[in-house]
């Protein structure tokens, strides 16, 4: 009898150890999404700042659609920014950022097509989750007709890109956060993985271009270099302080100047705006 119990203990221990060392990191990265759904679309007026003043420059759209990626049902997150009018003559901006995420918000791939000024950039990031508890990352960049890099990296943590990190930020539990609190994540910046800090910067009322004032949670997203120093702001996102966490304003840094996207219209939200 004792021998049977001992044998069972050995088998149980072996299973636990085997499971631990073969833990799929994608399972750890899964998030219950209670904030948005396929069909959500926000349209923004886009402003550019190359000096002290923001000038209306075009439009931007942030949308979530149901799609398939490698035979997996996914969310396709698209962030499009396009310059128009007189600003187009000074500085052409035509960027499309796409992130493919599972329904549990695990990033699978990222595609960036950017036309800024005279530069044309195509960039891809692919994430592969291994049973050994790590992520294999391949990142490629093609710029102005030339291949710039084709890098392979690994990470032991969940890692995000410019499109997926906005959706991730919408899922944080802000009821347990106050101004000054922050969350660290790993983030793909070009060929490198860096640290991104998502800081809760308080509550602020933002007037959108649909003439509605929204109570928003202000988030400051900053990145650091490989040594996790020299923190630099990458984006500010103002999300509604309700169950949707809908982005009302997004301020982003460009190679030259910056952009500001202010909400003009929305549809397909999971909940009525203002519902808590």
**pLDDT (0 to 100) of residue 107:** 97
pLDDT at 9 over 70: no
Write b or e for each residue in 52-86: b if 16 or more Cβ atoms lie within 10 A of its Cβ, otherwise e: eebebbbbbbbbbeeeeeeeeebbbbbbbbbbeee
In a domain, 196, yes or no: yes
- β-strand pairing of 107-116 with 182-189: unpaired
Confidence bin at 11 (pLDDT 50/70/90): very low
CB 58 within 8 A of CB 83: yes
Structurally, the chain folds into a number of domains equal to: 1
Assigned domain for 121 exists: yes
> Does the structure show a pLDDT above 50 at 200?
yes
| pLDDT (tens digit per residue) in 88-124 | 777 788 999 999 999 999 999 999 999 988 899 999 9
11 - beta bridge partners?
none
Residue 11 lies in a domain: no
Q: Is 253 inside any structural domain?
A: yes
Q: In this structure, is residue 66 part of a structural domain?
A: yes
Residue 3 has pLDDT above 70, yes or no: no
Q: What is the pLDDT of residue 155?
A: 93
pLDDT value, residue 130 = 86
Q: What is the mean pLDDT of residues 79-83?
A: 91
The pLDDT assigned to 203 comes to 97
Q: What is the pLDDT of residue 131?
A: 79
Question: Has residue 5 been placed in a domain?
Answer: no
Residue-wise over 9-43: b if at least 16 C-beta within 10 A, else e? eeeeeeeeeeeeeeeebbeebebebebbbbebebb
pLDDT of residue 22: 39
Domain that holds residue 50: 24-267
Q: Tell me: the pLDDT tens digits for 216-275? A: 999 999 987 654 456 788 899 999 999 999 999 999 876 667 889 999 999 999 999 888
pTM, entire model: 0.86
Q: Per residue in 141-189, pLDDT tens?
A: 999 999 999 999 999 999 999 999 999 999 999 999 999 999 999 999 8
Whose CA is closest to 221, among 251, 199, 193? Answer: 199
What is the average pLDDT value for the chain, to the nearest integer? 87
Contact predicate 163/147, CB 8 Å:
no
Mean pLDDT of the 59-82 span: 96
Confidence of residue 4 (pLDDT cuts 50, 70, 90): very low
Contact of 262 with 61, CB cutoff 8 Å: no
């Amino acid at each position: 009898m004792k021998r049977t119990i001992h044998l069972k203990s050995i088998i149980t221990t072996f299973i636990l150890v085997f499971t631990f060392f073969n833990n799929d990191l994608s399972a750890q990265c899964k998030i219950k999404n209670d904030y948005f759904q396929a069909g959500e679309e926000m349209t923004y007026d886009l402003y550019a700042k190359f000096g002290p003043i923001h000038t209306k420059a075009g439009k931007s759209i942030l949308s979530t659609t149901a799609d398939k990626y490698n035979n997996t049902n996914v969310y396709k997150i698209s962030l499009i920014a396009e310059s128009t009018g007189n600003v187009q003559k000074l500085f052409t901006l035509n960027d499309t950022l796409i992130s493919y995420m599972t329904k549990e918000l695990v990033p699978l791939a990222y595609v960036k097509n950017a036309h800024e000024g005279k530069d044309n950039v195509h960039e891809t990031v692919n994430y592969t989750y291994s049973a050994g508890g790590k992520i294999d990352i391949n990142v490629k960049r093609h710029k102005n007709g030339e291949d710039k890099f084709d890098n392979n990296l690994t990470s032991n943590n969940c890692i995000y890109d410019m499109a997926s990190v906005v959706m991730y930020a919408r899922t944080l539990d802000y009821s347990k956060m106050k101004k000054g609190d922050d969350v660290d994540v790993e983030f793909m910046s070009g060929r490198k993985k860096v640290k991104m800090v998502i800081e809760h910067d308080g509550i602020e009322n933002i007037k959108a271009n649909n003439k509605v004032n929204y109570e928003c949670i202000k988030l400051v997203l900053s990145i650091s270099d490989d040594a996790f120093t020299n923190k630099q702001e990458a984006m500010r996102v103002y999300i509604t302080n309700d169950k949707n966490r809908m982005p009302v304003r997004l301020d982003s840094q460009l190679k030259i100047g910056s952009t500001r996207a202010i909400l003009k219209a929305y549809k397909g939200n999971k909940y009525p705006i203002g519902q808590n």
